[in-house]
Every structure is written in C-alpha cells, then in structure tokens.
Structure 1
Amino acid sequence: MSVTSHLCVVEERMSKQQESAVIDMTPFFNGEVGSETAVSQFIQTVEQAPMAISITDTDANILYVNPWFCQTTGYGLQEVKGLNHSILSYRTTPAEVYQGLWNQLKKGRSWQGRLINRRKNGERYLADVIVTPLTDGEGETTHFLGIHRDVTETHELTTKLINQKTLVEAVLNAAPVAIALLDENQQVVLDNLSYKALAADFQQEPAKQIIAKLKEELGENATEQLRTRRFVEGHSLSLELKQSRGERWFYCKLSGFSAADSGVDDYFAPTASDYLVLTISEHTKEKRHQEQQRVSELQRMTAESEMMHVMQETLHAAIHQMQGPINMIEAAVTVLTGRSGKCPGLEAMEMALKSGADAVDQLRDALPDRPQEAQQPVNINQLVHDVAALSTQRLLKTSIPMQLKLTATLPSINGQPSRLRVAIKQLLDNAIDAIEFGKPQSREIEIQTYMDDESVVVLIDDSGPGVPQANKIKAFQPFYSTKPVASNGARGVGLSIVQQVMNEHCGSTLLQRSPLGGCRAVISLPRRERDRS
C-alpha cells in the first residue's frame, strides 16, 4: 500500500478514538504490510501519539496532521491541508537553521533541531523537531515526516537553572571569603575563586589542614558530627599558617547538610549524601593591626616600667654609695666624742653627718612605688616574642640579625610578666649595645629557650666583645658598665635590674662565653611544679 493510500485511510478515520498501540511504522511506508489490522494499528498510533506529527510532500506542503499537531498549533486539518509548512515558521529562527535542515533532507538524511514556531493565535513556542524523508521502493524521497513537540517550558526551566547556576557561581566568586563544598571523604567537589587562590598560595589543599585542626579540637569523629548536624550552627575555629612570607591568620567555619542523590537507582528509593560547607575568611590585616596595637601598648608599658626600674636602682645605688661615707663619718664622730678633749672639727662633722642622713632619708622618700603585679602563670616563649617585637626597629636600625630558637612546648612559670619582660629586654639591649659599641666583624644575636630538670632556661648570645672573666661578677654591681662614658641611657643599672628581678623570682643570672664569640647571658627560672612543691 502506498503512502498516499495510507493518508486517505487516515483522513477517513481522523475522528475515531481507539486504544493506542505501539508498532513499527517503517513497514507501512515501505509497502510491506497491507492488512486492515495493520493499517488500523498504524492509524491509531499516529492519531493518538502525544506529539505533533505531520506529513508533507517534497515541497513541504501539508498533506496530513494528527490531533496533537492541531492541539499544539491551534490549526485544524482542513485549515492547513495544502498549505506550506512554513506557516509555522517565525522570523526569529535564523535562516542558517533552515538551510541546514534542507541540506540534510536533500541528502536523504534526517534532521533534528529546534525551531521557533508560531501558533495560529500568533503565540510563539520552541519546538523540538525531527524531520525524516520517506522513500518509495526505489529509494526516492516521496514525502517528509515531521514530528515535533513544544519544549518551551522545558527550555524556560533549563534556562532558569542555568541562570541560577551562573548567578550562584557569580555570587560565590564575588564573595570575599573562600568557600568549598566537601563530600563524605573530605574531598572538594565545589569551590569558588577565592578558595582556588588560597590553595595556590599554600600549594596544598587548605581543607586538609582545617579538617586536621578540627579533629584536634573536637576529636576524630568531628566531621561526622558536623555532617549529621550534631552542631546545628556549625563549628568555628581559628587557623594560623606559617609561610616564607610570614604568618597568616584565618577564621574558618564548617557546617553540614544533606543533598538527595541523583542516581537512577535512587528514583523510587531516594537516598541522600552528607556534605560539609567550609568558609574561610582571612583576618591577617586585622590580626597584624591588633598585634601592632599590642606591641605599641607593650612598648609604652615596658618603657614606663624600665624608667621606674632605672629610677629605683639608681636611687638605691646612690643611697648605697652615700651610706658608706656617712657610716665612716658616724664612726669618726663616735670616736671623737668619746675622748676627753673636745675636737675643733667635731661640730662640723656632726652637722655633715646630720646633713648626709637627711639626704639619704630624702632619697628614700623619693623612691617611686613599684606598681603591684600579681603572680600568674607566665609563658616564657611569649615574653621572648614580645621582647623581640619591641626591639625590631632597633635591630633593623643597627643591622643586627636575631635568630630565635625556642623550644616549642615549655612549662609555664609563676611570676610577674612585666618584670620578667623588662629583665629579658635589658639583656637584649645589652647585647645590642655590645655589638654596636664593640663593632665586631660578625653582628648577630641568638635567643634560645629550653627546659632542664628543675628550671626553664633562656640563653641570650651575642657576637660582641664579651665580658672578661674577672668582671663577670662585678658587672652586676650598680653603676658598673663597659659602655663608653659618652653613651646614652643609664649606665651600669641594667644588670642590677636583671639581678633584682631574678631574686624576686627565685631565679639566677650568669654571664658566660658565647659560641658566637661574645657574651652569653643565662637566665634560669624555677618551674611551677617545683614552686608548688
């Protein structure tokens, strides 16, 4: 049976609605099937197919359309029969698309694509179209079979999803924080540009370091707790990373959520996977600003404390120095008073004795009161870092490199942090002065900390001229100094201040020969455990 004969039968039975059946349509157009049953099945399939079907001649003039075509376009069969299929075309479809369509059909090939069509009422819709050439027994094209469906809503939904994805990516990439999505294996499955930049800076995955830090704080099952939302608001932590360019500080937050799996097997039995959202915001500038403010405040407090210590030590030393001659005068007056004859200079000596005693009393009254500071746990390493920060500008100005070799974990000691800070700074200042005034060929300072059985020890080494063995005890006496007389600052009170502070903390200070060639100052402070015992 020919295609034209089939079309006549179809037209006669357009209004009939029978139960649909899915059959292979190809044999009908090849003339292989001619039974009434097969024709009936073919008609039912075409008429009840949930897609717009049309058959045209080789010039695209419409010969037949099915009911779904009429429903989709708004045209009836009698309205479009004999008209060219271009009645559905709309000008916004590029001409190149139609040229490609006809080029394929002329080659005897099917064409599939999308066209912007126009309904009878002028409304436009997006059509997903398949056009296939129908051939006779000799392989010549006699008709074209067109199948299309309205995909406007699908296109709009897909476009919205793409736009939403683009918007989300734009928002994430514009965010001033690094964001990453981690799966159950802590692998990054989604991240923004800030996170990529952070990973490039560290040359490793930031998430791994953060997860490790998280497990330190919450335990090995921390990520499982977050994924299962044991912590409803997530968990925040601070991360400090050290690089060759300096330390950087970050504020990190992790929170968990679940998302439905998209596998085919999950369609009827949905399952979900747990994820972690990681946000990282850098606060290095704020941290450095806070550190600068802290150091500035430390400089102010340390300068005041140093001035107070210098004044106290100077006045104590002056009183001590004056007390010697006064004691000698007092002894002489006592001896002369015991004699029978009156000494002509006795009265003057008594007046001098009284004046000296009054002067000493005035000096004692002038001694400034030392600010009260409670005993508290002290981190020696932190004090060393503080002193290093306080001395940075002077070290740079004098071109003296300083190296810190601090034991990572030291027990704290009981003490007064401001007093201990002054003592360590006095020793560092002495080391800088020694190098500056001695002008050695090598200019370097090294500070070490370590712990022995009884004490926490601080070593301050310099490459200056050092202290002669005969003067290592004398160096702690008030007003003794190896500095030039014309040097600035208080001479001969630094080590006496250090000695006083060590006495207050049951510690000790020694001067030794340094491996660097200069002086090594050794501070030894008792551990808290020994203090308590």
Structure 2
Amino acid sequence: MTMNLMTDVVSAAQIAGMLSRQHPTLFFTLIEQAPVAITLTDTDARMVYANPAFCRQTGYALEQLLHQNPRMLASQQTPAAVYKEMWQTLMQGHAWHGQLINCRIDGSLYLADIDITPVINDVGEVQHYMAMHRDISDKYALEQRLRNHMTLMVAVLNNIPAAVVVVDENDQIVLDNLAYKTLCADCGGRELLTLLDYPAQKSRFNEGQVMPVAMRGAVRWLSVNSWALPGVSEEASRYFIDTALPRTLIMIADCTQQQHQQQLGRIDQLKQQITTGKLLAAIRESLDAALIQLNCPLNMLAAARRLNGADRSNIALEAAWREGEEALARLQRCRPSLDFEMPAIWPLQPLFDDVRALYQHLFTPIGALDIELDSPHLVGFGQRTQLLACLSLWLDRTLALAADIPAFQLMTQLFAREEQGWICFYFEDNIPLTQVRYTASPDDFNVPGKGMEIRLIQTLVAHHRGAIDLHSRSGGGTCLTLRLPLFYELTGGPR
C-alpha cells in the first residue's frame, strides 16, 4: 500500500473521529477486517479508499477503484430520482440511507443497501463521505418470495368457499379469509366465532355437530372443524426456544342446503311412517268391523247347533258353523299389529316441530295453525309415530272440511299440557258445526270419509291406554281432546 493511501486513510480516520488518537492503526485494522463493505470518497466523489469486503462484493481490485467515481458501479436500473434525492440529502450535510441496484465487474447485478455519512473536519466542513454497502440481494429475494407466498396464500384462502380462520392460544383471530368476513357481515358485523361460542363448544364441533346461526333473518347451519398448526415463533424472546405458541386452523362450512335436504328426507320418511300407521289402523278397524258383523251369524249358528242336539246330525249346519269359525280365525290372523315401533319416552317439543314442518305450509294459504306447549320440558311415552298419526288424522280432517267452505279463514290451535298424570292434547277449530255431520246416524261412521278418522284416532289412542273426548265449542267449532297416560303412571315409578 502506498504512502499516499496510508496518509489518506489516517487522515480519514482522524476526520471521522478515530477510535484512539494514540493507536491510529487499530481503527484502520478494524476497517480492513470488517465484514461490511466500506468506501471513502472525497468531496469530488472520487474513491480514496475501499476495504477488502467491498472488493469482494464488487469483484474489483483496490487499484481499479481508487480515484474512480462510484457511478462506475451504476447499473442504469436505479431511477435517476433516487440519485437526485441522495445528493440533495448529502449536500445538506445529512446522512443518506437507501438502496441502489449496482453492477459487479462481471456484469451481474446486486441490490445494495447503502448508508452514506458526511465526514466533517474540525472546522465543520465536509471533507469526505464514508459509505457502508451491504449486499441484500438474497434478503430481498427471500422477502419477495415470502411476499409472493403470502399473496398466493391470501388468494387461495379468499377463493375457498368455506370460511377459514386461524386463532392463537387465546382463541383470538390472527388470520381470516373473505368468506369468514362475509359471514360476519351477514351476522350484522358481529364476530361469528363469538356467536358460535367457539371456545365453549369445541368438543361439540369436534364431534361433527352442526350449529344453527341466525343470519339476515334466516337460519343457516354451520359445521366447524379445527386442526392444530405447526409453526415457528416470531418473537425475539423465543429465539433459543424450539417451540412456537399454538395456533389453530378453523374451517367453517355452510351446511344449510344439506341440512334442508336431510330435513326434507326426514320429513318424507316421517310422512311414510305416518301413512303406514294410518293404514294399519284403518285395516285393523275394518277387520274389527268385519269380525263384529261375522260374529252375529256365528252366534245364531251356535244357538242352532245347541238346539239340534249333541249328535250333530245336521251336516249342513255343522259345515256352515265350521266355515264361519275358520273365517273368523282367518280374519283374526289378518289383523295387523299396531306395535310397529318400540315404545319410548320422547320430548314433545321436537314432535310439535315435526307437526309444524308437516302442516304449517298447508294451513298458511287458508288460515293459521297455532301450536303451543304449556312447558318446553313436557315428555310423552309410547309409540311416537302413532301419536303423530293421530294428530295428522285430525289435521287432515280439519283441512278437508275447511276446503269445502268458500272464502273461509280457518283458525286451528293445538295445545298440550300435563294434567293429573295425563298428557293432554287439545285441538280447537272454528269450523261451523253445520259443516260437521259425523254423528247424524250410526251409519255415517261407516261411510268413507265420514267419521272414519275419529275411529282410527280412537283405535290408536286406546292402544296407548288413553282416551278421547269430542265436543262442540260454545262459540262455534270443535274441540278434540286426546289424553295419554304419563310414563310414571303406567309403570308406577317416580316422576
């Protein structure tokens, strides 16, 4: 190294405020061995010094750099406005920090992060400029790659039809997608996870339970699934700890359509079961009527046989009696059992919900169906579908009668309450009594569509050891009461 270079370096070190005036070579050694690329230029922007790190960064030898303007590194990729802003800052005596796209000796480009500091002499004049250069190409590429990944991730998340949320260890949201934001907007701006009571309902969600949420005046059904997320900590305080704070990925799917389809399927199945119950009750009732009618001539044949004596010599009489007995036995064997489901204890609220689902839309065009429970905790016992068949028979009768009255506004109420060991169901309607002709004569009960539903209801209720009561209301209309014994009344057990 020449004496002139040594003089420039010592002078520069002195101007910059040497680490120690007694040990000028110490500061020079530090600059030489520093991993950061450093240059020193004079006021005419000519390089008077460059350390080895700068030579390695650019590929130039020190001899190629001395007395050269740093513009030799310019790649023509940096906008002129950046250089203009840099010199304006330096000429005002301020330090400048920024990025320049520079060119190495081999023509390759790199992104340099540069700090340039004016070096002031003892009289306050700028004598040199010291620059520290850092090649941040790899760091910039990594940042861009991370930004691209984040952009891609956000794009993917926002195009997923399900709502996606990431929560921290305190169940606070740290990331969400567009679908989740839309659901929150549909909830009036309220946080959807709060409405779902996510922290308290985690176990139910993990079991696959679907939850209803009111949105924009309608009920939507949502399923919630969650997974633990692996990750790394972003906090400096956890640098030496190989664990990250837990994160949870939550996916919320709208299952409303599937729920409606399942509900429609369940209602269709329920309709089939009710129809089966009605059909079995009708067949049983018809066969019972036939047995009663058959018993009359059989009783007459039996009396004639007793008068004929013990020798049974009247062959025709004996043959007729045997044929009658066999016919009676065949009819008995053909009577279907009404036990087509196991008796059980069931809540009345879901049963009344099924009645609404089955009949509310049928009553709406011609009137109203009001369904109430005295208590939401009421329970029934027996064959649930049979009781639904009883309720269905009477509601079908009510609709059929109302359809025959022009411009009639039908008002029907179904009410249930517990009374002294019974569950009582009350049906009340406003159908004029002149429209009801069920009991004009006993034969009316045998006319198709005339009173048959009462006999079928009576058959099903009697099978449950219950009773029915039918009477007219003082203000017009009919009141039907079904009474079914409670479970503890049948078993003698505690309530």
TM-score range, shorter chain: 0.7 to 0.9
49, 52, 58: which one pairs with 2:34? 49
Say which is worse superposed, 361-370 or 196-205, in terms of deviation. 361-370
Matched, 1:494 2:453: yes
**Map of 1:8-157 to 2, 5 A cutoff?**
8-9=6-7, 28-29=14-15, 37-137=22-122, 139-157=124-142
Residue 312 of structure 2 is matched in structure 1 by none
Contact preservation (8 Å) 1:181, 1:189? yes
Offset, 1:52: 1.1
**Map of 1:261-300 to 2, 5 A cutoff?**
261-268=233-240, 272-300=244-272
Residue 341 of structure 1 is matched in structure 2 by none
Offset, 1:122: 1.6
Offset, 1:61: 2.6
**In the alignment, residue 84 of structure 1 is paired with which amino acid?**
N
Contact preservation (8 Å) 2:213, 2:222? no
Residue 505 of structure 1 is matched in structure 2 by 464
Offset, 1:144: 2.4
338, 346, 370: which one pairs with 1:403? 370
Contact preservation (8 Å) 1:117, 1:126? yes
Contact preservation (8 Å) 2:287, 2:335? no
**In structure 2, C-alpha distance between the alignment counterparts of 1:202 and 1:501, rounded to whole Å:** 46
Offset, 1:314: 4.8
Offset, 1:128: 0.5
Q: Secondary structure at the match of 1:403?
A: strand
Offset, 1:150: 0.7
State the Cα deviation string for residues 179-218 of structure 1 (Å, max 9, x = none): 2223333322322222222223234333235446855957
Residue 362 of structure 2 is matched in structure 1 by 394
**In the alignment, residue 510 of structure 1 is paired with which amino acid?**
D
**In structure 2, C-alpha distance between the alignment counterparts of 1:153 and 1:305, rounded to whole Å:** 78
Do the aligned partners of residues 175 and 498 (structure 1) sit closer, same or farther apart at CA in structure 2, a change above 3 Å counting?
same
**In the alignment, residue 461 of structure 2 is paired with which amino acid?**
M
Runs (5+) with no aligned partner, structure 2: 309-316
226, 229, 237: which one pairs with 1:254? 226
Say which is worse superposed, 186-195 or 243-252, in terms of deviation. 243-252
Matched, 1:206 2:192: yes
Say which is worse superposed, 498-507 or 165-174, in terms of deviation. 165-174
**In structure 2, C-alpha distance between the alignment counterparts of 1:364 and 1:508, rounded to whole Å:** 26
Contact preservation (8 Å) 1:238, 1:249? no
Give the percent of matched residue pairs that are identical in Structure 1 and Structure 2.
25
Do the aligned partners of residues 217 and 134 (structure 1) sit closer, same or farther apart at CA in structure 2, a change above 3 Å counting?
closer
Contact preservation (8 Å) 2:18, 2:27? no
**In structure 1, C-alpha distance between the alignment counterparts of 2:443 and 2:227, rounded to whole Å:** 62
**In the alignment, residue 459 of structure 1 is paired with which amino acid?**
Y
**Map of 1:310-389 to 2, 5 A cutoff?**
310-314=282-286, 316-317=288-289, 369-370=336-337, 373-377=340-344, 379=346, 380-389=348-357
Do the aligned partners of residues 168 and 476 (structure 1) sit closer, same or farther apart at CA in structure 2, a change above 3 Å counting?
farther
Residue 428 of structure 1 is matched in structure 2 by 395
**In the alignment, residue 297 of structure 1 is paired with which amino acid?**
Q
124, 137, 153: which one pairs with 1:168? 153
Say which is worse superposed, 193-202 or 235-244, in terms of deviation. 235-244
Say which is worse superposed, 149-158 or 32-41, in terms of deviation. 32-41
Offset, 1:12: 9.1
Offset, 1:475: 9.4
Offset, 1:524: 2.4
Q: Secondary structure at the match of 1:112?
A: strand
190, 194, 211: which one pairs with 1:240? 211
State the Cα deviation string for residues 465-488 of structure 1 (Å, max 9, x = none): 3699x999x59977359xxx9xxx
Q: TM-score, normalised by structure 1?
A: 0.74
Offset, 1:155: 1.2
Residue 314 of structure 2 is matched in structure 1 by none
**In structure 2, C-alpha distance between the alignment counterparts of 1:509 and 1:57, rounded to whole Å:** 113
State the Cα deviation string for residues 331-375 of structure 1 (Å, max 9, x = none): 9x98xx99xxxxxxxxxxx9xx99xx89x9799589764575143
Do the aligned partners of residues 129 and 215 (structure 1) sit closer, same or farther apart at CA in structure 2, a change above 3 Å counting?
same
**In structure 2, C-alpha distance between the alignment counterparts of 1:516 and 1:178, rounded to whole Å:** 56
**In structure 2, C-alpha distance between the alignment counterparts of 1:416 and 1:510, rounded to whole Å:** 20
Do the aligned partners of residues 460 and 467 (structure 1) sit closer, same or farther apart at CA in structure 2, a change above 3 Å counting?
farther
**In structure 2, C-alpha distance between the alignment counterparts of 1:531 and 1:411, rounded to whole Å:** 14
Do the aligned partners of residues 309 and 155 (structure 1) sit closer, same or farther apart at CA in structure 2, a change above 3 Å counting?
same
**In structure 2, C-alpha distance between the alignment counterparts of 1:247 and 1:420, rounded to whole Å:** 28
Q: Secondary structure at the match of 1:144?
A: strand
**In structure 2, C-alpha distance between the alignment counterparts of 1:513 and 1:90, rounded to whole Å:** 102
**In structure 2, C-alpha distance between the alignment counterparts of 1:258 and 1:476, rounded to whole Å:** 81
**In structure 1, C-alpha distance between the alignment counterparts of 2:108 and 2:146, rounded to whole Å:** 24
Contact preservation (8 Å) 2:367, 2:409? no
391, 416, 436: which one pairs with 2:383? 416
Offset, 1:54: 1.1
**In structure 1, C-alpha distance between the alignment counterparts of 2:19 and 2:169, rounded to whole Å:** 61
Contact preservation (8 Å) 1:461, 1:516? no
Say which is worse superposed, 205-214 or 171-180, in terms of deviation. 205-214
Contact preservation (8 Å) 1:476, 1:499? no
